[in-house]
């Protein structure tokens, strides 16, 4: 067996959580990441027959039976993942019944996966139906995006338009737009179902007055997606209270979307 601390997926989890912490998106235990792994790849590092313990999931994730994820732990701080991955992360396999997860590695102090596991798993199910290459679901609390939630109406179309208008390349990075949920109680199946429902259409879902979910085919793409949304929100917050002299017009948006041949939400253009 090779040393799991050298595995690319483990290094990616460490680097990404450290980056997100550094950017101020994950204070205290804020945020969580789940990453769908390749069984053969995990098999290089772990005996897949050896289950440490079983953890109830709290809903039925039958569509994900047999799939293996590396997931941040509940109550754990992104700040600490890099220095102690085995306590702050876990590798779990969904059992055939869809109701239980088998712990293969990690959560060394007896911990378990993030309280947002239902939202993560339901989002994976929804995204895999749209894009079989989807691997990553990421949740965090980016500062400017959260600030924007307090001064902008929480509506998919108008929120997306405001973000697209803030940076020329936004419509290229998230042509599918941004879904927005109202404030909801977090950590339960209801917010998971609402998130997954938006994930049928969007790779970015704003949790009103809370944070954001992003999904993508790899860590860089998913991180870059949230980073771009947060950059746009930062420009919005830097300019919202000032007189607007110049603007990226709808005609500009269409011009760039067509030049880059992205399938943008035509119904979000005036
Ligand atoms: O796990 O961010 O939404 C901490 C959170 C919950
Ligand atoms: Zn959160």
Q: For residue 79, is it within any domain?
A: yes
The residue out of 63, 93, 113 marking a domain boundary is 113
88 in a domain, yes or no? Answer: yes
Number of domains in the chain: 2
Domain boundary among 69, 96, 113: 113
Q: Which 3 state secondary structure label does DSSP give 262? A: coil
In this structure, the answer to whether residues 102 and 35 fall within a common structural domain is yes
Can you tell me the distance from the alpha carbon of 254 to that of 78, in angstroms, rounded to the nearest whole number?
38
Take residue 100 and report the two structure tokens written for it. Answer: 């239980």
Tokens matching residue 20: 């997100």
Distance CA 118, CA 188 (A): 7
| CA of residue 117 to ligand 1 center, whole Å | 10
Residues 104 and 218 in one domain: no
Q: Is the domain of 121 the same as that of 250?
A: yes
206 located within any domain: yes
How many angstroms separate the CA atoms of 165 and 150, rounded? 18
Using the mean position of ligand 2's atoms as its centre, give its distance from the Cα of residue 29 in Å. Answer: 8
- Asked if residue 135 and residue 174 are part of one domain, the reply reads yes
Residue 90 lies in a domain: yes
Q: Which structural domain range is residue 198 located in?
A: 116-270
Q: Per-residue DSSP letters for 126-138? A: HHHHH-TT--EEE
Residues 184 and 61 in one domain: no
Mark whether 59 and 136 lie in a shared domain.
no
Q: Nearest residue CA, atom 4 of ligand 1?
A: 30
186 lines ligand 1 (CB under 6 A): yes
- Residue finishing a domain among 113, 144, 169: 113
Mutation test of ligand 1: which of 71, 79, 184, 187 has the most ligand atoms closer than 8 Å to its C-beta? Answer: 187
Tell whether 93 and 138 lie within a shared domain: no
Domain identity same for 133 and 267: yes
CATH number at residue 130: 3.40.225.10
Write down the pLDDT at residue 74: 98
- Single pTM value for the model: 0.97
Question: How many Å apart are CA 239 and CA 244, to the nearest integer?
Answer: 8
Residue 56 burial (CB count, 10 A): 9
> Which atom of ligand 1 sits closest to the CA of residue 141?
2
Q: Are 58 and 114 in contact (CB under 8 A)?
A: no
Same domain, 244 and 183: yes
In a domain, residue 18? The reply is no
Active site members:
116
Residue 211 located in a structural domain: yes
Q: What contacts 32, CB < 8 A, 6 or more positions away? A: 71, 72, 114, 116, 120, 138, 139
How buried is residue 206: exposed, middle or buried, by Cβ count under 10 Å (0-12/13-18/19+)? buried
Is 19 part of any domain?
no
247 lies in a domain?
A: yes
Strands (DSSP E) contained in the chain are 32-37, 53-56, 68-72, 89-94, 100-106, 136-140, 178-181, 204-207, 211-216
Q: Is 34 in the pocket of ligand 1 (CB under 6 A)?
A: no
Ligand 1 atom nearest to 72, measured from its CA: 1
Answer for the pair 162, 145: CB distance below 8 angstroms, yes or no.
no
153 lies in the same domain as 222: yes
Average pLDDT per consecutive 10 residues, the chain (270 residues; last block may be shorter) = 98 98 98 98 98 96 98 98 98 97 98 97 98 98 98 98 98 98 97 98 98 98 98 98 98 98 98
Q: What is the pLDDT of residue 228?
A: 98
| Ligand 1 atom closest to the CA of 74, numbered from 1 | 1
Kindly state whether residues 268 and 157 are assigned to the same domain: yes
C-alpha to C-alpha distances, 180 to 123, 152, 210, 213, nearest whole angstrom: 14, 11, 11, 10
- Do 159 and 181 contact (CB within 8 A), yes or no? no
In a shared domain, residues 43 and 139: no
């Amino acid at each position: 067996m090779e040393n799991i601390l050298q595995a690319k997926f483990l290094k990616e989890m460490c680097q990404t959580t450290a980056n997100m912490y550094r950017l101020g998106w994950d204070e205290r235990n804020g945020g969580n990441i789940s990453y769908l792994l390749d069984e053969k790849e995990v098999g290089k590092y772990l005996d897949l027959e050896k289950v440490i313990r079983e953890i109830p999931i709290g809903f039925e994730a039958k569509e994900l039976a047999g799939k293996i994820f590396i997931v941040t732990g509940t109550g754990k701080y992104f700040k600490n993942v890099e220095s102690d991955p085995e306590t702050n992360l876990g590798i779990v396999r969904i059992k055939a019944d869809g109701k239980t997860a088998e712990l293969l590695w990690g959560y060394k102090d007896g911990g378990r996966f993030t309280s947002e596991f239902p939202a993560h798993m339901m989002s994976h199910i929804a995204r895999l139906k749209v894009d079989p290459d989807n691997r990553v679901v990421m949740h965090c609390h980016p500062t400017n995006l959260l600030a924007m939630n307090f001064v902008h109406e929480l509506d998919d179309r108008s929120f997306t338009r405001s973000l697209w208008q803030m940076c020329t390349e936004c419509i290229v990075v998230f042509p599918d737009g941004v879904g927005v949920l109202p404030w909801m109680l977090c950590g339960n199946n209801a917010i998971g179902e609402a998130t997954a429902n938006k994930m049928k259409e969007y790779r970015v879902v704003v949790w009103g007055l809370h944070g954001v979910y992003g999904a993508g085919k790899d860590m860089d793409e998913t991180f870059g997606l949230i980073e771009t949304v947060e950059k746009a929100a930062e420009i919005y917050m830097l300019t919202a209270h000032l007189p607007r002299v110049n603007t990226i017009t709808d005609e500009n948006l269409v011009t760039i979307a067509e030049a880059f041949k992205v399938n943008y939400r035509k119904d979000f253009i005036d």
